[in-house]
Chain A
Amino acid sequence: MEFIIGKFNYWIYIVLMMIGFYAMIAKSNLVKKLVGMNIFQTAIILFFISIGSKKGATIPIIQEGATGDAVNQAVNVARYINPLPHVLMLTAIVVMVSTFGVAMALIIMIFRKYKTLEEDEILEIMRSEENK
């Protein structure tokens, strides 16, 4: 039990990731696949954010005109959360958004061509065209 509670953030990300993974693989509707992909990526982002955080810590910025105490705490690592994962995830989010954009564009193209987004129906149409 402790094993689960203590590392709840990992469990959450794993569960989310598996949901997304399932959607990406198993769903036949392209948009659902895409949603699954987003969940998948979000899970990873959550994972990264969670590894950066510390209990009772604050953002790593020294206030302007901070005196004695604050300055000393500047070097006290325990008081500051690790900003790096957040920064990484910022980039990852950018990547995610652009992936989403491209994927949406593709889906629109597909829809224009086949008037459906169900993969099996699309394949059906393709096959019929092959035979034609």
Chain B
Amino acid sequence: MIGRFDNVIIQTISRLLIPPIQLFALYVIAHGHYSPGGGFQGGCILGASFILMVIAYDIKEAKRMMSEKVNTIFSSLGVIIYSGIGVVCLILSANYLDYGILNKIMPVTIAEARALGIFGVEVGVGITVMAVMVSIFLNLASGGEHEEAEE
């Protein structure tokens, strides 16, 4: 539906904007656990940057940078990271998502281990959210040719 239309201004501006947006997204993700923000918000921003690119260029461009396959892998990879960390805690004979225990395998204190654990989870969430945002958008924008990925 969104056909290609070359508009120098839009493309240049979005070229300029996208990197800082993504950087900010990473910041939001990384600081999620001790300031406002977190995986979901960061993921949304990250996804928004891709969407901006799709709007500025066209779907083929976006697909070139992030193909359907990669997208699908990302969307499930995030969840696997998140639940994987939890399972690691299980394996270390603590309860699910009890990050404190992670200090057994990392040279850090329990508090730091908690911070790192939650950070890992945030990253996972971020990746998934980003991937799903993009796939939903592409799915709608392309009128369903882009196979739907389920949240």
Contacts and interface: CB of A to CB of B under 8 A. Distances in A.
A112 B148 CA distance: 15
B144 A101 contact: no
A108 B34 contact: no
B3 interface: no
A59 B37 CA distance: 12
A97 B139 contact: no
B140 A108 contact: yes
Interface residues on A, range: 10 to 19
B143 interface: yes
Secondary structure class of chain A's binding surface, majority of residues: helix
A98 B35 CA distance: 26
B119 interface: no
Interface in A46-89: 59, 61
A125 interface: no
Interface in B94-151: 129, 132-133, 136, 139-140, 143-144, 148, 150-151
B151 A108 contact: no
A91 B35 CA distance: 18
Contacts of B132: 98, 101
Interface residues on B, range: 10 to 19
A112 B144 contact: yes
B151 A98 contact: yes
15 contacts: A61-B34, A93-B40, A94-B40, A94-B129, A94-B151, A97-B133, A97-B151, A101-B136, A101-B151, A102-B150, A104-B136, A104-B140, A108-B140, A112-B143, A112-B144
Interface of A: 59, 61, 90, 93-94, 97-98, 100-102, 104-105, 108-109, 112
B46 to A, nearest CB: 15
B36 A59 contact: yes
Given A101-B132, A101-B151, A112-B144, A90 B40 contact: yes
A108 B144 CA distance: 7
Most chain A beta-carbon contacts within 10 A, residue among B143, B148, B150: B148
Given A94-B151, A108-B144, 14 more contacts: A61-B34, A90-B40, A97-B133, A98-B132, A98-B151, A100-B136, A101-B148, A102-B150, A104-B139, A104-B140, A108-B139, A108-B143, A109-B144, A112-B143
